Amino acid sequence: MATTIANDTNAARHYVRITGRRGRFIEFDYSIGSPELAVELIMPEKAFAEFCAEHHAVQLTPEECAQIDRERAEWRRKQVDTGDD
């Protein structure tokens, strides 16, 4: 994960990760404190911009998103290998 996120001790930092678009709506993941655990949301573009501004949300870079995806895939692989749920 990018150093700026991995070493961030500010639990109040907010992150967004745009995952798609549906017409005038933006689909995104939203997290607080750690981008690895997020909720999926969808909002009209204007509401999304206002939401991000209000929460001072940091948009994850493509590199940060790729790192999170790799970490999630590795975690899933370990769950299958060990039989843990």
Contacts with 9 (C-beta within 8 Å, 6 or more apart), sequence order = none
- The pTM assigned to this predicted structure is 0.74
C-alpha span between 26 and 50 (Å, rounded) = 12
Distances (CA, A) of 14 to 56, 67, 76: 7, 18, 25
pLDDT at 9: 52
Over residues 30-78, the pLDDT tens digits come to: 999 988 889 999 999 999 999 999 999 999 999 999 999 999 899 889 9
Strand order from edge to edge, sheet including 25-32 = 39-44, 25-32, 14-22, 58-59
3-class secondary-structure state, position 22: strand
CB 32 within 8 A of CB 10: no
